[in-house]
Every structure is written in structure tokens, then in C-alpha cells.
Amino acid sequence: MKYSTLLTSASAAILTTTADARVVMPHEAQLANTLVGRAFPANAPHGYTPQIGNCPSNRPSVRAANGLSSNETAWLEVRRNATLQPMRDLLGRLNITGLDTTSYINNHQNNASALPNIGIAVSGGGYRAMLNGAGVLEAFDNRTSNATSAGQLGGLLQSATYLTGLSGGSWLVGTLYANNFTSIDSILGQDTSASGSGDIWQLGNDVFVGPSTSGIQLFGSAGYYSALQSAISDKQKAGFDISLTDYWGRALSYQLVNATDGGPAFTWSSIAKQDWFTSGSAPMPIIVSDSRAPGEVIVASNTTVFTFNPWEFGTFDPTVYGFVPMEYVGTNFSAGTTLSDQCVTGFDNVGFVMGTSATLFNQVLTRVNGTNTTSLFSSALQDGIVSVLKGVSSSDNDIADYPNPFYNYRSSTNSYASSKQLTLVDGGEDLQNVPLVPLIQPVRHVDVIFAIDSSADTNASLPTNASATNWPDGASLVATYERSLNATMENGTAFPAIPDINTFMNLGLNNRPTFFGCDAANQTGPSPLIVYLPNAPYVYNSNVSTFDLSYNDTERNAIVLNGYNGATQGNGTLDKQWGTCVGCAILSRSLDRTGTTVPDVCKQCFSKYCWDGTTNSTQPASYIPAMKLKAVSVTTSGTGKLSKSLLAAFVGTIAAAAIAGF
């Protein structure tokens, strides 16, 4: 079994797994683990405040999205070569009988395009998504204790080319890359004693209160608010528009970035300058956000999807169809070029990027204006919170505010061309809560995508049944499939056929791993195979609310453990052939390209896990999933639900201090 980095030694004894009814702290977690600080606070000593200076001699401009950037193309050669050994090791222990996978990799190693090209997509869903996704990545990481034993999936992360995240998934991706591509084991194994250095993912205090551990901050909530306000005020005084997302992103950084005050000088573009990334040692991270037209609250399903990678910000969507250098986001552009020889740097703060993809306040406003709010808010508190948030939203400040680099660019198709500001919101608001769009672009040639879905879709009509709500129902895959059929938005992307939501529920496709698009010859275009990994109760009811904002360490680690068990199918307890089937999914498109006979064991796997086209669109019964394995026992803190008074205090304090300046 895999010995999870689970819990403190005092609480570990009360947890159990199905493999041996024990949870043992791994050797690494028993040591005084530390996380290495970031090497590139690129905007130091200016902290959170962007800087205006001379543009480089090769002035930034908008690049048409008719291919990959030269940076990504050059990096891909390095990365694809770096994936060979991890892929060789991974496939070699997955028992794919009938195929010598080591020889297969060796025979094609000089032609990387023949070998599998892997993407991993981590959905939104607040801390639920961050922690469930963390459990899956823990299983995929060869640095995890015992993850490279026979049948285990360690090395899949090291074999992947791309890792995408949105909303809560962006917090996971951002945490890893803001902390030198650390491991989940290292995060959970931090020494959190007074003399230790464990400063991230300490979720006992929610983001509206601020962290209480040493090293990040040494003051109470009043000082926390003051520090947030000071950083944002300096940005505003420098001439930049601000929004609630500035505060939200800065607050998140205290929990996600292992540096004093949450690393206000750390930028997203600085990832591209770090040795561990330039050497190809980690997948390319991509954060996803949706655009929202000024004055709107609801995001249309055909909205433009924007992405942040270490080199560029922009979109392949045919509306805007352009990218600008990530380092110079914040610079004033017009008609594809800078307006002057002055450029902005430091605007792409890592917390602001993560906050952009996860604009919780925009979601809260949308939620409290809906019909099912009683489980979150009393009517009196709802009125108060709505009044505060509407006061902010009336000026479009519940979103993330960016100087529009696509101003006067492609005016015939770009609806944002007439606006000097680009307003971005949570990446899942167009219903595509799994960030698949960047990975299905034809120019990236991704073969297989591991789609980690922690969406909260199910049983809104049963809010009093804790085991019924907040599970995925396949809606995100449906949304991406439907978008791929939209002639005005698909831009050459292809996606496997996906059944309707009722079929997902009736056939149980939302409760177990399912492969979509197994037959490459039966696709409308070069679509990847999708390995769908929906959140389900394996050892813990991990269906906590998106608006639960605090967790003690036992809760946090139980959700991670549940995700790990989902990724490994209970270390093979539920299906001893699961690892083999994952290997077959990885190889599927590659075997097709090279004309290699598909092994019989893979045919068995595809028969077991591939959706065969069967549908059942009748109204499903209420979804109340059963625990798949022996449940772990966790004492909850009882403080996880969205604190209405703290939300009001947080927004109200910020609004009172800054609304006049908005």
C-alpha cells in the first residue's frame, strides 16, 4: 500500500485505510520537512506594486494564436526528452502484458511526437478541488512514499507535458509552482511547530481571518487587513485600477505561497526563469479564467476562455485569437502593440493570477441571488451580504481587472476590442469546470488527459443530506463537448462524444473512472482520450462545500487521502488491474500512431472502462453515493462552513477602506 503523509502522529491512529486498517506516517513526513523558498521574487523590492519602466528593445506585441509560442516550442523539446525515463519506469511496472513498454519507448525515443503526450486537468471547487486534486497528484508523483511500487502510478506527473487548473484547481497548481514545484508529501509533512517552517495549507483559520502560524505573519486579523490594504493601496497609488480580486489574491497567497506575507513580489512569469522549469523537470502549468463583459453578472457559455502560462497570457478562441508576453501583462496596448516605450512589469503577481481564476466573491453574489441559498445564508445575513457585494459589483469590482492588451485588436470578432479594461472571472463560470480547453488545442497534440473533476453539481434539492450534495455529475465534460460543436468557438478543437448528464448519473459514470474517446478512428478530429476521474467517497465524504473555507489538518488530509484512493482505486483493492488500464490509456493514441498492435490486456481494459455509447436519459434518482472502501474516522473542526459574518466583515472592511478609490 501507499503510506500516506496523513495527519499528525497524535491523530493518525484514529484513521484507517482498507489496505491494512492502518495509516502510517511515511519516513519523509516524520522528519522536519521544509519547503524551499522561491528563488525569484521577480518584483522585489517593490512587493505587490507593478512597476513602469522602459520596454525592452524588442517591444512586446500581440502574437496571433496560429501556433505555439517560440518559447513553448523550444521548451517542449526539453520537456518531452525529460519525460522519457519517468514514462519508461511508470509503464514498465504497470504489467501491460503483450507489450515490452521499455523497448517501445526506446524504439521511439528519437521521435518524441510518436510517444504519449499527457495532460492533467484539475477542476475548480474551492478547497475541495485543491485537496482532492492534491490526492490524485500525490498518487501520480514519483516523489511520494511507495508510489513507485508495482502497479502504483508514481511518475505519471513526471511523464506529463501539461498541468492545468482553474479556481480551486489553480490553487493546487499555483501552490506547486509558487514553491519550486514542491510535492504534496512535502506540504503535508511540514513541521508546523513554532520553530518549524510549515507555512502553507494551514487552513485552520479561513482566508477572511488570516493565518495564525509563525513565519507568515505575527499579527491578528486587524493587522492582516491592514497589510492587505497597504499592499493594494500601493498598487492603486501607482495608477492601477484595483478590484476585490486584488484583496482575494493577496489573502490566498498567505495560505499558498511559502514566503513572508505570501510572497507579494513573486510573479507568474518568473516560473519561466527557474532552473527546475527550464530544465524540463516539471510539466507546463496553465491557469484558466473566463472573461465577462462589463455590467454582466452571469457568464455566457460561449465566453472567451483566457489562459495564463509562464510565457504568455491570451486565448486560442477565435474571438480574440491572440497572446501577449506574460511578463508585460499590465502594459497599455492598442491594435496589437504597446502605446509607448513604457512597459509594466510585476502586474502578474502569483496570488492575483490564482485569485483571477477563482473569483469567489463573484460566485457568492451569483449564488445569493439564486434560489437555493438557505443552506448558506439566513435571509437577514443574505440581505446584508448582497448589499455589500452589490455595492462592489455595481462598479464591476467583484471581478479581476486587467488593462486590456487586446484593445483595438481584431475588432471584427473581439467584443472586448472597444474596452480599455479586460474583466476576468472564475474559470468555471461557463460550466467548463475542468480546464480542458488549453489541452484540446490541436497545436498541442495532447493524446490523453486525466480530468480530475471535483465539481459540486449534485442534488441541490437535498441540502440537508450531507452525503448527497456537492459531487460531480459530468456537466463540465458535457459543456466542453457542446462547445467543441459550436462552429463559432471550436477553432479546430475536437473532443470525444460525451453523453448527457442524466446518462452520467444513471450509468454511474460520475462515480467511477471512465474513459471517453477510446477509438481514435471514430472521432471527428484529433481528439485526446479522456480519463475521467470524478470525486467520489472512497474513504471519506470529500463533498465539502466550495464555500467551506477552513479545515483542521485531519480534515484536510482525509480529503487528500480520499483523492489518492480514487486515483489508485484503493491501491488496487477495487480493481487490481487498474494500474495496467491507466498504462493502456496513456499508450492508446501512441499505439495507434505507430501502428502497434494493441495488447489483449488493453482491449480488456477498454472494454471495462470505455464508455460504449449507451445512453439512458431518463430522470435519475437522487444521488446518494455509498462509501467504496472502509471510511477513515475524522474529528471535524465544525468551523468549515462559510462564515457569513466574516465574509461580511472582510468585504465590508475592504469596501469601507477602498470603495471610494475603485
Q: Is the pLDDT at 496 greater than 90, yes or no? A: yes
- Range with lowest mean pLDDT among 93-102, 268-277, 419-428, 581-590: 419-428
Residue 198 grid cell = 510549515
- pLDDT tens for each residue of 523-549: 777 899 999 999 999 999 999 988 788
Q: Is the pLDDT at 412 greater than 70, yes or no? A: yes
Q: Is the pLDDT at 23 greater than 90, yes or no? A: no
Task: Say if residues 322 and 336 touch (Cβ distance below 8 Å).
Answer: yes
Give the pLDDT confidence score for residue 301 in this predicted structure.
73
Cα–Cα dist 90/92, whole Å: 5
Q: Is the pLDDT at 387 greater than 60, yes or no? A: no
Task: Say if residues 548 and 642 touch (Cβ distance below 8 Å).
Answer: yes
Rounded mean pLDDT, 211-228: 63
Cα torsion at 337, 343, 349, 352 (round to 10°)? -50
Higher pLDDT, 96 or 374: 96
Task: Say if residues 571 and 565 touch (Cβ distance below 8 Å).
Answer: yes
Q: Is 58 left (phi over 0), alpha (psi -120 to 50) or beta?
A: beta
Give the pLDDT confidence score for residue 654 in this predicted structure.
52
Angle, vertex CA 491, rays to CA 501 and CA 526, nearest 5: 70
Give the pLDDT confidence score for residue 293 in this predicted structure.
74
Domains defined along the chain, listed by start:
9-48+58-370+377-456+467-661 (3.40.1090.10)
Q: How much is the pTM?
A: 0.89
* Residue 30 CB contacts under 8 Å (≥ 6 apart), including other chains: 9, 189
Give the pLDDT confidence score for residue 488 in this predicted structure.
84
Task: Say if residues 217 and 211 touch (Cβ distance below 8 Å).
Answer: yes
**pLDDT band per the 50, 70, 90 thresholds, residue 204:** confident
Q: Is the pLDDT at 187 greater than 70, yes or no? A: yes
**What element of type H or E holds 313?**
strand 312-315
- What number of helices (H) and strands (E) belong to the chain? 21, 16
**pLDDT band per the 50, 70, 90 thresholds, residue 2:** very low
- The count of residues in the chain is 662
Give the pLDDT confidence score for residue 468 in this predicted structure.
84
User: How many C-beta neighbours within 10 Å does residue 487 have?
Assistant: 7
- pLDDT tens for each residue of 223-238: 777 888 889 889 999 9
- Range with lowest mean pLDDT among 294-308, 404-418, 574-588: 294-308
Angle, vertex CA 616, rays to CA 614 and CA 617, nearest 5: 135
Residue 285 grid cell = 502549468
Give the pLDDT confidence score for residue 584 in this predicted structure.
98
The number of C-alpha atoms within 13 Å of 255 and in the hemisphere containing its C-beta is 25
Q: Is the pLDDT at 197 greater than 70, yes or no? A: no
Nearest C-alpha neighbor of 55 from the set 324, 271, 306, 240: 324
- pLDDT tens for each residue of 47-59: 999 999 999 999 9
- pLDDT tens for each residue of 326-342: 999 999 999 999 999 99
Highest mean pLDDT pick, 23-37, 356-370, 423-437, 497-511 = 497-511
Give the pLDDT confidence score for residue 35 in this predicted structure.
47
Cα–Cα dist 540/557, whole Å: 10
Give the pLDDT confidence score for residue 399 in this predicted structure.
79
- Range with lowest mean pLDDT among 103-117, 170-184, 584-598, 629-643: 629-643
* Residue 607 CB contacts under 8 Å (≥ 6 apart), including other chains: none
Angle, vertex CA 314, rays to CA 308 and CA 316, nearest 5: 115
Rounded to the nearest integer, the mean pLDDT of the chain is 84
Rounded mean pLDDT, 91-119: 96
Rounded mean pLDDT, 641-656: 53
Q: Is the pLDDT at 270 greater than 70, yes or no? A: yes
Rounded mean pLDDT, 462-482: 87
Q: Is the pLDDT at 660 greater than 60, yes or no? A: no
* Residue 377 CB contacts under 8 Å (≥ 6 apart), including other chains: 368, 385, 644
Higher pLDDT, 380 or 597: 597
Cα torsion at 552, 224, 183, 631 (round to 10°)? 10
Residue 426 grid cell = 472564475
R_g of the chain computed on alpha carbons: 23
Cα–Cα dist 547/524, whole Å: 39
- Range with lowest mean pLDDT among 258-267, 354-363, 474-483: 354-363
Cα–Cα dist 129/168, whole Å: 5
List C-alpha distances in Å: 74 to 80, 110, 148: 11, 16, 30
Give the pLDDT confidence score for residue 461 in this predicted structure.
62
Nearest C-alpha neighbor of 177 from the set 196, 162, 190: 162
**pLDDT band per the 50, 70, 90 thresholds, residue 560:** very high
pLDDT over 70 percentage in the chain: 79
Give the pLDDT confidence score for residue 216 in this predicted structure.
45
